[in-house]
Amino acid sequence: MTSYLMDYQSFKTVEEMDMHVEKHVLAHYGKMNETDHALLSLVARYACKFPGAAHLKVATICQATNKSEATVRRTLRKLEKLLIIKKVPTIRRVSKGYGANILVILPFIDHSCLTTRGGQENLVVRRAAAVIP
């Protein structure tokens, strides 16, 4: 029934997914609050059968985290903005309305870069003042 999630699976194993989630949390530690951590943890728990992909309703997340619908939607947008998850909207087959989103945990990509000192082209040359006898 849920084999369609295999198309959205972003990791090969649960251990690999857990490692990437931990790296996301460490990289965005100052930007994430307790609700963000709880929601990411919940998505990771539901994304074990197909590592990295979970099909969750907002109502299910609200009930599990004991948060309001507005808070859950805001937190999902924040996690998407931080490039931790990606929401894939779905359409119901029978009623043709919007269904629950597929939440995909994205692999961690280290965007930090080291700067190296360039060449010596911008050196300021100081000349000694000429001493007049």
Other Cβ atoms within 10 Å of 11 Cβ, number: 21
Q: Looking up tokens 């979970």, which residue turns up?
A: 54
pLDDT in tens, 8-26: 888 999 999 999 999 999 9
Query: Could you tell me if residue 22 is inside a domain?
Result: yes
CA 117 to chain centre: 31
Query: Could you tell me if residue 133 is inside a domain?
Result: no
Q: What is the reported pTM?
A: 0.76
Encoded tokens for 77: 């947008």
The whole-angstrom separation of Cα 54 and Cα 46 is 6
Residue 40: domain span: 3-105
Query: Could you tell me if residue 14 is inside a domain?
Result: yes
Count: domains in the chain:
1
Cβ–Cβ under 8 Å, residues 48 and 14: yes
Side by side, the strands of the sheet bearing 101-105 are 53-56, 101-105, 85-88
Query: Could you tell me if residue 122 is inside a domain?
Result: no
Query: Could you tell me if residue 100 is inside a domain?
Result: yes
The residue type of 88 is V
CATH number for the domain including 53?
1.10.10.10
pLDDT of 22: 94
In percent, the amount of the chain with pLDDT more than 70 equals 81
Q: Looking up tokens 């007049």, which residue turns up?
A: 132
The whole-angstrom separation of Cα 32 and Cα 82 is 9
Query: Could you tell me if residue 11 is inside a domain?
Result: yes
pLDDT in tens, 33-78: 999 999 999 999 999 989 999 999 999 999 999 999 999 999 999 9
